[in-house]
Structure 1
Amino acid sequence: MTDTHTMVVLSVSDCWDLLAGTALGRLVTTVDGVPAIFPVNYTVQDRTVLFRTAQGTKLVSAAINNNVLFEADGYSLSEGWSVIVAGVARSVRSEEDIAEAERAGLISWTDSEKEHFVRIHPRGVTGRRFRFRAQPGTGTPAEDPILG
């Protein structure tokens, strides 16, 4: 990215690397025919997205509306990225699949009991990285306090 205004389409491999480096995303589905977005903490396991949930709307939605989107993003002061996974959500049910999901070490961020795993099997993965606009009058992107 030589131009500070450039947007770059990410490779599928880069998308998975970015997804694996963060833990909070959004499940996009429909509930009673209406679009719904649910924040979830998740992990990447074997190029799938895995999250835990309790009995309720997310679990029912994943079972009924198995065509879902999952989105995660990240940013610094100078650039940002966004990755979208279009896929099929399935409740993890067999003992073998549950054991594999448990090996991912995914722990719920909240105190509520989240007994059910849901895995999103991707049909497509897309992502973009972009630099933020330069600070007015400086011609350079904002300095990132972490990356310098």
Structure 2
Amino acid sequence: MSTQSHFDRSRLEIVGPADCLQLLGSVPLGRLVYTSGGLPAVRLVNFVLDDDTIVFSTASGDKFRAAERGDVVAFEADEVDLERHVGWTVTAVGHLSVVSADEVEALRHSLPLHSWLPMDDPYLLRLGIESVHGRRLLPWAQRPGSASSRRR
């Protein structure tokens, strides 16, 4: 079975949902996009992917309050090779929630959770992924419209 690549108008390869989850699981750092005081806020967080759920630690504050409210948030992770001009980006959207006290210990033992910031008694937050989209920047010769792709 051959796999047909699909591209957007910018000639970025569209990444399917299963591959998006695989890419998300391959990096330890992403950006949580949420609302704070009626304005967009973006924060770097260490995270792990647990099936189709993003889990990370936080102290009390704006992220925690967004989770308590069950806000819809976005989460973005990427990997870019600046020398070769290739890479990918994945954006997930869903409702943010606080992991219940009953689940915290089990998750701490089963997932490689850590934070680069020191926190006393951090909370665990969960983003249940409801939609996921990704794009991959391929080497120039593999993009549609390049001279070498027309010769194939």
- The reply to whether TM is greater than 0.5 is yes
What letter matches 2:113 in structure 1? L
What letter matches 1:86 in structure 2? V
Q: What is the CA–CA distance in structure 2 between the aligned matches of 1:114 and 1:69, rounded to whole Å? A: 25
Query: In the alignment, is the contact (CA less than 8 A) between 1:50 and 1:101 conserved in 2?
Result: no
**Gaps (5+ residues) in structure 1?**
141-148
What letter matches 2:34 in structure 1? T
Mark the CA change 1:117 to 1:124 in structure 2 (over 3 Å): closer, same or farther.
same
The superposition leaves residues 8-35 of structure 1 with CA deviations (integer Å, 9 ceiling, x where unpaired) of 1101111011111101101101011111
**Gaps (5+ residues) in structure 2?**
142-146
Mark the CA change 1:53 to 1:126 in structure 2 (over 3 Å): closer, same or farther.
same
Q: RMSD in angstroms over aligned alpha carbons?
A: 2.3
Query: In the alignment, is the contact (CA less than 8 A) between 2:14 and 2:135 conserved in 1?
Result: yes
Q: Could you state the TM-score of these two structures normalised by the residue count of structure 2?
A: 0.78
Mark the CA change 1:108 to 1:123 in structure 2 (over 3 Å): closer, same or farther.
same
Q: Does 1:93 align with 2:100?
A: yes
Q: What is the CA–CA distance in structure 2 between the aligned matches of 1:24 and 1:113, rounded to whole Å? A: 20
Matched-pair identity in %: 32
* 1:43 CA displacement: 0.5
Larger fraction in helix: 2
The superposition leaves residues 73-119 of structure 1 with CA deviations (integer Å, 9 ceiling, x where unpaired) of 10122311110000011000141x21332121201112233510000
* 1:65 CA displacement: 5.2
Structure 1 residue aligned with 2:144: none
- Match among 62, 67, 72 for residue 62 of structure 1: 67
Q: Could you state the TM-score of these two structures normalised by the residue count of structure 1?
A: 0.80
Q: What is the CA–CA distance in structure 2 between the aligned matches of 1:12 and 1:94, rounded to whole Å? A: 30
Q: Does 1:122 align with 2:134?
A: no
Structure 2 residue aligned with 1:10: 15
In the alignment of these two chains, the number of paired residues is 133
Counterparts of 1:15-54 in structure 2, within 5 Å, are: 15-54=20-59
Query: In the alignment, is the contact (CA less than 8 A) between 1:70 and 1:86 conserved in 2?
Result: yes
